[in-house]
Amino acid sequence: MSDHETFTDEQLSAMRHPPLAKRVRRSTGLSQEAFAERFGIPLRTLQEWEQGRREPDAAVASYLRVIEKQPDMVAQVLAAE
């Protein structure tokens, strides 16, 4: 990045407040591939959410928040199926 590069307000906001999916995945310490596999989310969908091209619907956003708070419990429940 050059010293003269500027960012839009939207870009600055995204840097300060990453999309929910990216924040949750980062909190688990997993790669996109590992997170998608562990929690049953298509990799391309996760990438779209993280890049801000799409947003998860309300139900999926709730699921992501549960993962953020209890990732091991969610993985355990999914593995038991």
pLDDT digits (tens, 9 = 90+) for 6-65: 867 665 555 567 899 999 999 999 999 999 999 999 999 999 999 999 999 999 999 999
Residue 8: the pLDDT is 76
User: What does the alpha-carbon distance between residue 37 and residue 33 come to, in Å, rounded to a whole number?
Assistant: 6
For every residue of 20-66, which 3-state class applies, written as one string? HHHHHHHHHCCCHHHHHHHHCCCHHHHHHHHCCCCCCCHHHHHHHHH
Spell out the domains of the chain, with CATH numbers in brackets.
9-79 (1.10.260.40)
Whole-number pLDDT of residue 19: 94
Put simply, whether the predicted model's pTM sits higher than 0.85 gets the answer no
